[in-house]
Structure 1
Amino acid sequence: MAGAGKAGVAAVRLRAASKVYGRGASAVTALDAVTLEIPRGSFTAVMGPSGSGKSTFLHCAAGLDGLTSGSAFIGGTDLSGMNETQLTKLRRERIGFVFQSFNLVQALTVEQNMMLPLRWAKQKPDAAWREEILRRVGLADRAGRRPSELSGGQQQRVAIARALVTRPDVIFGDEPTGALDTVTAKEILALLRSCVDETGQTVVMVTHDPGAASYADTVVFLADGRLSSRMDNPTADRVAERMTHLGAWA
């Protein structure tokens, strides 16, 4: 696994992080005192049975949802001390998101969709970086196309380009290959892997697919909102076997 990078500060940290929905007898603990550090320049997959807290983990780690107790950090920044305006700025400038649904603006071109985060942040685009991103995701010859003219895999490449354009500290993926066929999914996973290996990005990906998880350096397993175990240098077979021993499957 890649090193921790700048001054040894992890890219993502959770300290006794808990998230409870509802109150009283109807309260549901979706995340239960999770403590975890994810190094800079690494690829981490987050797995667990349905209802294990995977999506809650991602939403809280990325500042999309607040914790009930504990703390979450992006680098050295404590998210729990930030208001919504500050969180919005942090998400725009330091975090990239790739979801199962591509969330592209149909009226805009590939390049315009890719550049949206910079427009929202009122930052001037760097022409060389724009060309580099388009080349990296394999869309340099399709910059003027609209999403309706692209395949599903190409649309997800646009979403990844959009996530990369601000040079974020962390890219969070929520089932980024869930809507793709297996061949296209492998291409997208290889692209995310190259973001880590070639440019030192940090990728945190929620997935239910052992094959997808095998592209990561480390797999973190959740069960019933708790951190159950972790696996370094995963293979699809080892991940699938571990999944049969989590939570209600145990």
Structure 2
Amino acid sequence: MTEVVRLDAVSKVYGKGQNAVAALREVSAGIPRGSFTAVMGPSGSGKSTFLHCAAGLDVPSSGSVRLGGTELAGMSETALTELRRGRVGFVFQAFNLVSSLTVLENITLPLRLSGEKADAAWLAEIVRRVGLDGRTGHLPAQLSGGQQQRVAIARALVVRPEVVFGDEPTGALDTMTARDVLVLLREVVSALGQTVVMVTHDPVAASYADTVLFLADGRIADSMTAPTADKVAERMTRLGAWKR
């Protein structure tokens, strides 16, 4: 399988001198196209930094990050913004919807920011897949938390990105609603061939992925294919300082 994201020997250090903190240490990993990858680890293990570097939201201190065939190192902030807008989708714990825009306007916002028109057939397809038929004229305040996250997922998909990054996308949802969102993300991968990378602290959420990457102390400590919630939870108890 081809890799849509590739990190090679990526390190990220915040601060200088005695105040320097290494968030990532020589991390190498590939994300296969059309896969669902969960990233887990103790607090401070580097999960969010991994996602931010992989998505072009942050610049590594050293190492290489490639999206498709594009090396991100050395790109200007303007070029990175254009790359993220056209080739990457984001879903965060906070839904980040614009309260004054309708569901449809929120979904198509990335296209309008790029000066592009929506593909009507694709827009209708993703609205249907995320279960928002009949609600496209609503404002975010008129939706439940789960429905708002569905809007965020549709917004991430509208540009047909090469990869969707999720940072704790179910963290603000109750367990039933979280399950619905995870089923949707799983379907997006299985039915549409989308690539999803999700940072999570929840072993149940991670069990929906094809592969789990475990981070500890800024390094990849392990990986697991065909994860179950029990196996993930058990592995999490033996990471970094927790294993001592």
* TM-score, normalised with respect to structure 1: 0.96
Q: State the match for 2:176 in structure 1.
A: 183
Counterparts of residues 78-157 of structure 1 (less than 5 Å): 78-157=71-150
Name the CA distance, whole Å, in 1 between partners of 2:133 and 2:81: 30
What is aligned with 1:209?
A: 202
Structure 2 residue 237 is matched with structure 1 residue 244: yes
Q: Which runs of 5+ in 1 are unaligned?
A: none
Q: Secondary structure at the match of 1:73?
A: strand
Aligned to 2:6: 13
| Cα deviations by residue, 1:209-247 (Å, 9 ceiling, x for unpaired) | 000000000000000000100000000000000000001
Q: Aligned equivalents of 2:106 and 2:131: distance in 1?
A: 15
Deviations 1:17-76 (A, max 9, x none): 000000111100000000001100000000000000000000000000000000111111
- Structure 1 residue aligned with 2:215, among 214, 222, 225? 222
| Cα distance between partner residues in 2 of 1:180 and 1:124 | 32
Amino acid at match of 2:10: A
Other structure's SS at 2:134 match: helix
Indicate the larger mover: 74-83 or 55-64.
Answer: 74-83
Listed one character per residue, the Cα deviations across residues 179-232 of structure 1 (whole Å, up to 9, x for unaligned) are: 000000000000000010001000000000000000000000000000100000
> What TM-score do you get using the length of structure 2 for normalisation?
0.99
Which runs of structure 1 show a deviation greater than 6 angstroms over 4 or more consecutive aligned residues? none
SS at structure 2 position matched to 1:201: coil
Query: What secondary structure does 2:78 align onto?
Result: helix
Task: Provide the residue aligned with 1:67 in structure 2.
Answer: 60
Query: Any gaps of 5 or more consecutive residues in structure 2?
Result: none
When the two structures are aligned, how many residues end up with a matched partner? 243
Letter in 2 for 1:175: E
Q: Distance in 2 between matches of 1:22 and 1:90?
A: 27
CA deviation after TM superposition for structure 1 residue 129, in Å: 1.2
- Measured on the aligned residues, the alpha-carbon RMSD in Å equals 0.5
The 2-side partners of 1:234 and 1:225 are apart by: 22
- Measured after TM superposition, the shift of residue 81 of structure 1 is 2.6
Report SS of the residue matched to 2:44.
coil
